[in-house]
Amino acid sequence: MKTYKQTGTEAVYPLRAQDAWLGEIGKLYDRMSGVWCADTCAPRLRQEWSPDNPTLGQCSVTAFLVQDYYGGRVMGIPTSDGHFHLYNEWQGRTADLTSAQFGKNYPRGAAVPQSRENHFSDPEKRDRYELLKRRLEALRPSRPLWHGEPESELCELYGLMTATDNPVSVLANTASFLYTRRERINWAGFYLVRRGELQLGPFSGKPACVRIAKGRGVCGTAFAEDRTVRVPDVHAFPGHIACDGASRSELVVPLHRRGRVWGVLDLDSPVPDRFTPEDQDSFENLCAMLEGVLG
Ligand code: SME
């Protein structure tokens, strides 16, 4: 039942940052498996619907739901029983979340664009679509993720975070992303707790000190006190460890697993007072996302 048809080379991300939690379209199939149900299945197929065949009768409501979050066009292929099988299309890429119901008998034929107004003129179908959307929305994380950042980029970051289950790869790409895509940052990376101290993890920027004792510097303070430390002027912070002489302000956010700090995100800026309280909130949310992804 894990057939999921997707073609094309460009990844498709949600249009809006508040939907970044959905991740790249390829991630949506597994999430939807717990969202599709008999009540969202087309009535003519409902008797046959089961959790073992979750995509049965879900194509049109799913395709319009996907369009809400990911944009693109909804296309339909005529089926032998006089209906259309609907899927999603973006320039150069298609995604069909409900292909599994057909097994080897995927419908052939020329696809034609489908209109939302046409399908939803049937109130029964509209109700099912709204139910499906409510069931998906119930999974939405409760905190807003971002403040004032370019939305598509943050969706891309979530895509990077969920592209692998290797934590080193996830941290390395996150560090590189923050270093290359956020402005006025001269060091972005992670220190990880090892043998009771912080040791250098994946980062982007100049080579940095490899060990920081608990309680020392900005990072060691964030670790020891388990709190975000936002430093507008590093020269005024007692015990600040200067890895890059250009650094003027710094933000360090602890990362947790099972209630314990296992590392910190460290961001340095060459600009005094670079990190606002809103930035702090955004980067704390990013760390919460990382905690979720890395489990
Ligand atoms: N400034 C940090 C040390 C790490 S480097 O900035 C990368 C601190 O005082 O903990």
- Tell me if 93 is assigned to some domain: yes
Q: What are phi and psi of 250, to 5 degrees?
A: -150, 150
One domain for residues 254 and 168: yes
One domain for residues 226 and 283: yes
One domain for residues 103 and 219: no
- Tell me if 144 is assigned to some domain: no
* Domain boundary, last residue among 137, 168, 193: 137
One domain for residues 113 and 156: no
One domain for residues 38 and 85: yes
Structure tokens at 54: 């979750």
> How far is the centre of ligand 1, averaged over its atoms, from the C-alpha of 47 (Å)?
62
Ligand 1 pocket test, pick from 206, 227, 265, 266 with the greatest ligand atom count within 8 Å of Cβ, gives 266
Q: How far apart are CA 150 and CA 13, in angstroms?
A: 13
Radius of gyration of the chain (CA): 23
* Domain boundary, last residue among 137, 165, 198: 137
Percent of the chain whose pLDDT exceeds 90: 66
- Tell me if 124 is assigned to some domain: yes
Range of the domain at 276: 151-294
Q: How far apart are CA 6 and CA 97, in angstroms?
A: 8
One domain for residues 117 and 234: no
Question: How many domains is the chain built from?
Answer: 2
pLDDT digits (tens, 9 = 90+) for 105-148: 999 989 999 999 999 999 999 999 999 999 998 888 765 566 66
One domain for residues 14 and 106: yes
Residue 201's H or E segment, with its range, is: strand 197-205
pTM over 0.75: no
One domain for residues 130 and 159: no
One domain for residues 182 and 68: no
Using 50, 70 and 90 to split pLDDT, how confident is the model at 286? confident
Identify each DSSP E strand in 47-186 by its residue range. Answer: 73-78, 84-90, 93-96, 112-113
Closest ligand 1 atom to 237 CA: 9
Predicted pLDDT of residue 133: 96
Q: Within 6 Å (CB) of ligand 1, which residues are found? A: 187, 208, 212, 217-220, 240-241, 243, 247, 250, 266, 268
pLDDT digits (tens, 9 = 90+) for 164-192: 889 999 999 999 999 998 889 999 999 99
Using 50, 70 and 90 to split pLDDT, how confident is the model at 1? very low
Predicted pLDDT of residue 257: 85
One domain for residues 121 and 183: no
Structure tokens at 287: 């760390």
- Tell me if 64 is assigned to some domain: yes
One domain for residues 122 and 171: no
Ligand 1 pocket test, pick from 218, 248, 252, 265 with the greatest ligand atom count within 8 Å of Cβ, gives 218
pLDDT exceeds 50 at position 88? yes
> How far is the centre of ligand 1, averaged over its atoms, from the C-alpha of 196 (Å)?
17
Tokens 């499906």, located at residue: 132
Q: How far apart are CA 196 and CA 211, in angstroms?
A: 11
Residue nearest to atom 3 of ligand 1 (CA): 241
What mean pLDDT value characterizes the chain?
Answer: 90
One domain for residues 160 and 53: no
Predicted pLDDT of residue 148: 63
